[in-house]
Chains A and B, each alone.
Chain A
Amino acid sequence: MTALLVIVAYLAVLLGVGLASTRFFQGTGSDFFLASHSIGPVLLLLSLFGTTMTAFALVGSTGEAYVSGVGTYGLMASWSGAIHPLMFAFLGVPIWHLGRRHGYVTQIQYLRDRFQSEALGWLLFPILVLLVVPYLLIGIQGAGITVAAVTKGVTTTAAGAPAGVPPWLTGLVICGVVLAYVGAGGIRAAAWANAFQTGVFLVVAMIAFVAIVQALGGPEAAAAATAAKRPELLAREGLIEPLHFLTYAFVPLSVGTFPHIFQHWLTARSPDAFKLSVVAHPLLIAVVWVPCVLIGVWAGGQLDLPPEQANKVLGIMVARFTSPVMSGVLTAGILAAIMSSLDSQFLALGSMFTHDVVLHRDADVAPARQVWLGRVFVVAVVAVTYVLSLFESRSVFDLGVWCFSGFAGLTPVMFAAVYWRRATRAGALAAVLVGGAAWLAMFVADATAEVPGELLPLGLAPATYVVLATTLALGVVSLVTAPPDEAHLRRFFRPVGA
């Protein structure tokens, strides 16, 4: 019960922080969706980092380390530390310049304009929404699983067995809290809440990690227990193959196409505001992922859960090896990480619907009606995702990787739009269609496979095929179709020879 009270108190404080930001709301669309381009380096860093760290980074990484060992860090975290800054600097900064110049709020606005294609916008809208849904699902399910494990004993099942807060209730509450402050304050509320929540989960993760280490008898004893019971977790041999490890480099390319990251880029006060994010991002990833992976590996020496229950590892370790107050505090930290992604994703969905559908079809829609329609769309998508979250699903890590692989497939289109003058409308359309088909074929094959386990065609991560298919289609079709008009290109590039 103590843990539950700490969690409820945290949610109340978070709601207060988010709503407090509305005092600075200027009442304009630009302020609601882009915070009037006023976000400085520190807030941008905390927003971008908080947005990219979700249940995948905490619940998923711990569970995956429990199954696949220490290689989990190199597979996702160190690749992300090298590649996310590449996206922030070499996509984020040029897009910031173009966004300020042409007034973009969403990436569909940019790509429609750059490639002079209505069809591309209508093709991308449902794809991006459908890819955001599993990302939302990861957060809602991760929160439900963790809170249920930590609060075990506050209630009982119909059969009289001890049970925690049911996941349906946790999901309902966190969706309600996030919708409330995002709906009231827009992206400034999301940025403030992200900064607060990122601070909370960084500090709390450290404190809880120390508490778990002490409860396990120190790091040497924790490592020795794993070495005795499941020594394979201490290396990668037999768990992760080198080619699989290498080709995971394609997965973090997804950050280049996340709609919510695109929107955060445009909130920056200046291009220089990106520099702190570019440098500090790999370090913050290490601060979060190293303890999570260690807890997962050490759990191998303590627990006997089957791999299909790996999502529960973090919650069980926290509940078993820390005090009720600490369990509550750490769970609040985990929820902080999850909700700091949900808020930006909710807002991005609303922005896309408002700008890419409503305003694109009728630019004269009254501002109040625009915001109202955007909110209705977000509530509808969140409601569908919430219902999906009530069903037992695959591991948070696997679901996350599929979602990221889909987004990664679209990143070559973003790079081509920014850097390749020769990229054409037909090339971009072909890239999205071919990459989408490659992703769908592998996702269906994985979902319907009779033998459980990660799909790795020829030992390569599926993102490899998706990115290569997209790039090939984009390159070939662009080169065989007429180049874009030079006058149009001058809106996006320096004149040739300048």
Chain B
Amino acid sequence: MTPRRVMLAVFLVLAVLHQDVWLWDDRSLWFGVLPAGLGYHAAYSVVAALVWAVITRVAWPEDPVGPAAPPEGTP
């Protein structure tokens, strides 16, 4: 499996983790302050940043035309 496909799979897992149905009716406060549903998604944003940090290293998009193609003028 290519790095790009691995990262696509990781991104799909990230999408699934967004749907935290187990916290839907949870009104508890993390540390007595942060509502559980908000705390989970704040942490989710940090995980998203980490996933994207890995993607920039292993699956960064390239020039769609390729480096050998000659440059052109304005259309």
User: Which A residues have a C-beta under 8 Å from some C-beta of B?
Assistant: 70-71, 73-74, 77-79, 81-82, 85-86, 89-90, 93-94, 97-98, 100-104, 109, 113, 219-220, 223, 227, 231, 234-237, 242, 245-246, 249, 271, 275, 278-283, 285-286, 290, 293-294, 297, 418, 490-494, 498
* Residues in B neighbouring A103, C-beta threshold 8 A: 72-75
Contacts A93-B61, A223-B33, A418-B64; A77 near B24 (Cβ below 8 A): no
* Residues in A neighbouring B44, C-beta threshold 8 A: 74, 78, 81-82
* Residues in B neighbouring A493, C-beta threshold 8 A: 64-65
* Residues in A neighbouring B14, C-beta threshold 8 A: 82
Bound Cα distance from A235 to B69, whole angstroms:
54
Q: B29, A282: Cβ atoms under 8 Å?
A: no
Bound Cα distance from A231 to B49, whole angstroms:
31
Bound Cα distance from A491 to B71, whole angstroms:
10
Measured between C-beta atoms, what is the minimum distance from B54 to chain A in Å? 9
Q: B71, A283: Cβ atoms under 8 Å?
A: no
Query: Which of B15, B41, B53, B55 has the most chain A CB atoms closer than 10 A to its own CB?
Result: B41
Q: Does B9 contact A (CB under 8 A)?
A: no
* Residues in A neighbouring B38, C-beta threshold 8 A: 70, 73-74, 290, 293-294, 297
Chain A, residue nearest B26 (CB): A235
A94-B63, A294-B38 given; name 11 further pairs at CB < 8 Å.
A74-B18, A78-B44, A81-B44, A82-B18, A103-B75, A234-B37, A235-B37, A271-B63, A279-B56, A290-B42, A297-B38
* A to B contact number (C-beta, < 8 Å): 155
- The 7 A-B pairs with the shortest beta carbon distances in the complex, nearest first, are A103-B74, A237-B25, A286-B45, A219-B33, A234-B27, A97-B63, A78-B41
- Identify which of A89, A101, A236, A491 contacts B60 (C-beta below 8 A): A89
* Residues in A neighbouring B35, C-beta threshold 8 A: 70, 223, 234-235, 297
* Residues in A neighbouring B23, C-beta threshold 8 A: 235-236
Q: A78, B48: Cβ atoms under 8 Å?
A: yes
Measured between C-beta atoms, what is the minimum distance from B59 to chain A in Å? 9
Measured between C-beta atoms, what is the minimum distance from A302 to chain B in Å? 16
Q: B24, A235: Cβ atoms under 8 Å?
A: yes
Bound Cα distance from A102 to B71, whole angstroms:
7
Measured between C-beta atoms, what is the minimum distance from B45 to chain A in Å? 4
